């Protein structure tokens, strides 16, 4: 499964009015605390991979993201599993993985046609939009669809940001910590 994803900065109030006008549906508000891990045998900062434990409103999910597959979007191979957050953290640390950083955000999730739209408020980093299509193939077609959709919100291809929240947080040197429940 491939996640085709485009991210940009966005004024949430303005975007929400446009989304509502189009008929996009708000399906939920989530509070994420994301702990990113780096590997003992290769540097994910260099290989452009990510390994994350997301704690979201009491549940924990582990996600692996492969390196980006093109030069304009954030499309990657992605695998995800629900987990016990505390024990999985212990497994990763025992295997030699180590914490690279923590990102806390509030995410409002909208659904529109085959797209998931996330309005992310990321601590001191500010407001962002992420538009995502999950598919087996046809990356180029889906990427084009996402940019056509973003254009309706006044966001152009040149506004696309490929830097991850983790990279931004590390650049800003903000240190946080998730309150993981031990399992």
Active site residues: 36
* Min dist. Cβ of residue 166 to a copy of itself (A): 17
Chain positions 91 to 110 lying near a copy of itself, rule: CB under 8 A, are 91, 94-96
Does position 79 interact with a copy of itself (CB under 8 A)? The reply is yes
Does position 115 interact with a copy of itself (CB under 8 A)? The reply is no
Which of 111, 148, 153 shows the shortest CA–CA distance to 132?
111
Quick check: 163 and 8 in contact, CB under 8 A?
no
One character per residue 1-40, x = contact with a copy of itself (rule: CB under 8 A): --------------------------------------xx
One character per residue 38-67, x = contact with a copy of itself (rule: CB under 8 A): -xxxx------x-x----------x-x-x-
Does position 123 interact with a copy of itself (CB under 8 A)? The reply is no
Does position 112 interact with a copy of itself (CB under 8 A)? The reply is no
d(CA 183, CA 180): 9
Per DSSP, the residues of 77-139 read EEEEEEE-HHHHHHHHHHTT-EEEEEEEEEEEEEEETTEEEEEEEEGGGEEEEEEEEEESS-H
Does position 88 interact with a copy of itself (CB under 8 A)? The reply is yes
First to last CA, the chain: 29
d(CA 154, CA 92): 42
* Min dist. Cβ of residue 76 to a copy of itself (A): 11
Whichever of 62 and 155 has its CB closer to a copy of itself, that residue is 62
d(CA 30, CA 34): 12
Positions in the binding site for a copy of itself (CB under 8 A): 39-42, 49, 51, 62, 64, 66, 77, 79-84, 87-88, 90-91, 94-96, 183
């Amino acid at each position: 499964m491939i996640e085709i994803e485009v991210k940009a900065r966005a004024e949430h109030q303005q975007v929400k009015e446009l989304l509502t006008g189009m008929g996009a549906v708000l399906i939920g508000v989530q509070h994420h605390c994301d702990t990113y891990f780096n590997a003992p045998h290769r540097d994910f900062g260099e290989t452009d991979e990510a390994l994350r434990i997301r704690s979201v409103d009491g549940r924990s999910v582990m996600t692996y993201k492969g390196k980006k597959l093109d030069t304009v979007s954030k499309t990657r191979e992605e695998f995800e599993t629900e987990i016990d957050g505390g024990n999985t953290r212990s497994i990763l640390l025992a295997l030699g993985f180590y914490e690279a950083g923590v990102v806390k955000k509030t995410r409002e999730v909208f659904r529109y046609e085959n797209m998931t739209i996330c309005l992310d408020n990321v601590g001191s980093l500010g407001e962002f939009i992420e538009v995502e299509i999950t598919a087996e193939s046809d990356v180029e077609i889906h990427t084009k669809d996402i940019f056509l959709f973003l254009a309706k919100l006044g966001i152009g291809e040149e506004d696309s940001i490929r830097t991850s929240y983790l990279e931004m947080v590390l650049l800003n040197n903000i240190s946080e910590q998730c309150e993981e429940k031990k399992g």
